[in-house]
A and B are shown apart, each in its own frame.
Chain A
């Protein structure tokens, strides 16, 4: 296996981008990553996309996007693992460069979610759950995470106020991110008084429906050094699966795929979670950030809620989480999210995060991207070279 580096990043603004098409979004992000790295050609590309079929009625997007990026005839493949599609695309691209098969590989992600109405978007997202035994019975994604939240509250005493603090913190960070969909500050009262979507989750506990794309360029470390680019090393990527249905898990509050993917990534890098300076994690719902931090071993089970309320995960806290604003504030174009997490970490490690959200200590970081209610998870560790 060769050492691999991220040599270029690009992303679109995230939001309800009525004037932008699926293909335009991807091309803007991919062009940005190619320009950032200075490469004119790609050896191949992998694109994370959860559901081109349901959101825009388009499959076979590898070829479509290779065409519009002007890079045919390179191999181009869509990678799908629901909301972890971006992370899975990154992992696949990393394996291809590490193997020695290709040198310059683009890992991208894109989702155009606002071409369908709210009911259809909810339905499309629900297909990331078990369609026959969760979706058929009326489960929605907020509903599944709401059931996870009730179980967590019952077992550990986690409160709606603790969850609201996660939203407030992530919006505080996102208010400094020029690409964020909702760069607005929230208050705990505002979250708690917002419309209930699926008890106990309010609308401000939920990440939004978002259009957007992100892309990064991977290359062998030695080649990156010879190109004179700022070096961001990919130390490791870990992935794991779990039962698709939430109800099939032995312990509903434990995201086993997150725990296993984190362990695989840390073991491969020869590190512990304590070696990380900060994290970008999959806060599709406020309760998700709490459960993820516990599964990753940042906190003991039941401790992430109180820690979030105490400000430990803020930009100036002990362990900053989601300096980008997370999925909550930055937005969650599902297939693009895993790549957008890498984009933020690269910015932080380069010391180029905008508007004063640059962290004081940013040498090494971990990204955690999750599919469905935890049916899959991809964890990536990056380090400043």
Chain B
């Protein structure tokens, strides 16, 4: 059930399109997506940083039974990756043979189409990772 995500998608554009994160100015820890507070510190101060775009695969799977919006794409590789800045996120891996994905593999992010919402004539874009 792909909902019409116009407003939601627009709000997330800094993260989805440019991978903007927040860095805790005290601890140096980088959060993606940005947060308003740090765990245990309501007064944490943050500065905006852009992720460099390089990461490593922490763990992965190959989705063979996909949820409705991604039905046509299966099988696709999905991974938890750790970025150079030390934060982790979930993304699809693309432009590769799904059987070649390995834990520890170096990847870099690219701006890609995620899926269409045909009912609303909206195409959702965001980040996917390719082998570095």
Contacts and interface: CB of A to CB of B under 8 A. Distances in A.
A148 B59 contact: yes
A246 B64 CA distance: 20
B59 A134 contact: no
B85 to A, nearest CB: 14
A131 to B, nearest CB: 9
B84 interface: no
Contacts of B12: 132
Given A122-B68, A138-B73, A138-B92, A252 B62 contact: no
Interface string B107-132: 00000001000000000101000000
A143 interface: yes
Contacts of A150: 59-61, 103
A140 interface: yes
A198 interface: yes
Contacts of A135: 67
Mostly, the B contact residues are: strand
Nearest to B115: A138
Contacts of B53: none
B66 interface: yes
Interface residues of B, number: 32
A120 B60 CA distance: 23
A123 interface: yes
Contact of B88 (A132, A137, A247): A247
A366 B59 CA distance: 31
A154 B80 CA distance: 14
A347 B62 CA distance: 40
Interface in A127-145: 130, 132-140, 142-143
Contacts of B59: 147-148, 150-151, 154, 252
A147 B80 contact: yes
Nearest to B89: A247
B79 interface: yes
B29 to A, nearest CB: 12
B37 interface: no
Interface of A: 54, 118-120, 122-124, 126, 130, 132-140, 142-143, 146-148, 150-151, 154, 195-201, 245-248, 252
14 contacts: A122-B66, A134-B90, A136-B114, A136-B124, A138-B66, A138-B69, A138-B114, A139-B78, A140-B63, A146-B61, A147-B60, A195-B64, A199-B62, A247-B80
Interface hub of B8, B60, B65, B124 (most chain A Cβ within 10 A): B65
B58 to A, nearest CB: 7
B42 interface: no
A248 B82 CA distance: 10
Contact of B91 (A119, A123, A137, A246): A137
B28 interface: no
Nearest to A154: B103
Contacts of B124: 136
Contact of B71 (A119, A133, A139, A195): A119
Contacts of A248: 88
A224 B60 CA distance: 51
A124 B3 CA distance: 12
B63 A198 contact: yes
Contacts of B65: 118, 122, 140, 142, 197-198
A247 to B, nearest CB: 4
Nearest to B103: A154
Given A143-B63, A147-B60, A199-B64, 4 more contacts: A54-B1, A154-B103, A195-B64, A199-B62
A138 B61 contact: no
Contacts of A140: 63, 65-67
Interface string B19-60: 000000000000001000000000000000000000000111
A290 B68 CA distance: 29
B103 A246 contact: no
Contacts of B91: 137
B28 to A, nearest CB: 16
Q: Which 3 A-B pairs have the closest CB atoms?
A: A146-B61, A119-B68, A151-B59
A304 B25 CA distance: 41
